[in-house]
Amino acid sequence: MAAEDEVIVLDGWASMFGMKVRIALAEKGIKYEYREENVRNKSSLLLQMNPVHKKIPVLIHNGKPVCESSIIVQYIDEFWNDKAPLLIPSDPYQRAQAKFWVDFIDNKVYETGRRTWTTKGEEQEAASRQFIENLKLLEEQLGDKKYFVGEHFGFVDMGLIPYYCWFYSFETIGKFSIEAECPKIIAWAKRCMQRESVFKTLPDEKRVFEFVLERRKVYVVE
Ligand SMILES: N[C@@H](CCC(=O)N[C@@H](CS)C(=O)NCC(=O)O)C(=O)O
């Protein structure tokens, strides 16, 4: 990193999108300033840096914003390409596959996961079923590999692992067991948790649970 490089991350501690970015920065060994945002009272800097979506995370590199977590990780990998290892495979086909599964996580896994705790009754049961189906598709992709793309912790792993600290909330509120349904995903998650970039980034699952219970009151009248 050039001496003049200034890296700021606008983020929220419980955001799985933000955790993905922070894990990528940690894997590359990039120092940055972390600024916690309150998405219910967004700072003028956030609105200025991400005027289109107005969402976290935002990476501000030497004053220039990069938005959307997966685009940020690709930027980090391309800009700091001298820092091994590559987060995204260099083989074009593997690269396309990795992007496909990250997109699946960012959309399908996120949306069904969110609905396990923001809904109730039949809608919640359907969300829990769909969430598990999505995880099973990922489990099939993982197979018996150490990480999603071969031997190296990379783009797909850092897209999914932030959900691990939300699993307890999804399961407890949705009343299902991820380990019973997707044991290989849990074994993979425990493997990822041994990495410093991951265990130093993920908050405690009980802290996430308290946050989720508070937020649930906004969505669901029991
Ligand atoms: N596709 C975006 C999603 C980011 C996102 O949904 N961020 C949430 C927090 S987890 C947010 O900023 N929400 C505020 C809002 O929707 O106004 C990404 O990958 O960065």
Residues sharing a CB contact under 8 Å with residue 81, sequence separation 6 or more, in sequence order: none
How far is the C-alpha of 78 from the C-alpha of 87, rounded, in Å?
Answer: 9
Asked if 57 contacts 11 with a C-beta cutoff of 8 angstroms, the reply is yes
Query: So what's the pLDDT on residue 45?
Result: 98
How far is Cα of residue 46 from the mean position of the Cα atoms in its chain?
19
CA 10-15-17 angle, to 5 degrees, is 80
Q: Which atom of ligand 1 is nearest to the CA of 68?
A: 20
- From ligand 1's centre to the CA of 15, what distance in Å? 8
Give the pLDDT score at 102. Answer: 98
Q: What is the pLDDT of residue 59?
A: 98
188 vs 2, 122, 143, 156, 213, CA distance in Å? 35, 31, 10, 12, 27
Task: Give the tens place of pLDDT for each residue, 108-164.
Answer: 999 999 999 999 999 999 999 999 999 999 999 999 999 998 789 999 999 999 999
Q: What's the CA-to-centroid distance between 145 and ligand 1, angstroms?
A: 30
Which residues lie across from 67 on neighbouring strands? 58
Residues with CB under 6 A from ligand 1: 12, 15, 17, 39, 54-57, 68-70, 106
Residues of the chain predicted below pLDDT 50: none
Span from the CA of 157 to the centroid of ligand 1 (angstroms): 19
- Ligand 1 midpoint to CA 17 (Å): 7
Which numbered atom of ligand 1 lies nearest the CA of 72?
20
How far CA 133 is from CA of 5, 127, 150, 174, 178, in Å, comes to 43, 10, 23, 14, 11
What residue's CA is closest to ligand 1, atom 17?
55
Q: Smallest Cα–Cα separation from 98: which of 27, 150, 57, 136?
A: 150
- Give the distance (Å) from ligand 1 centre to CA of residue 37: 11
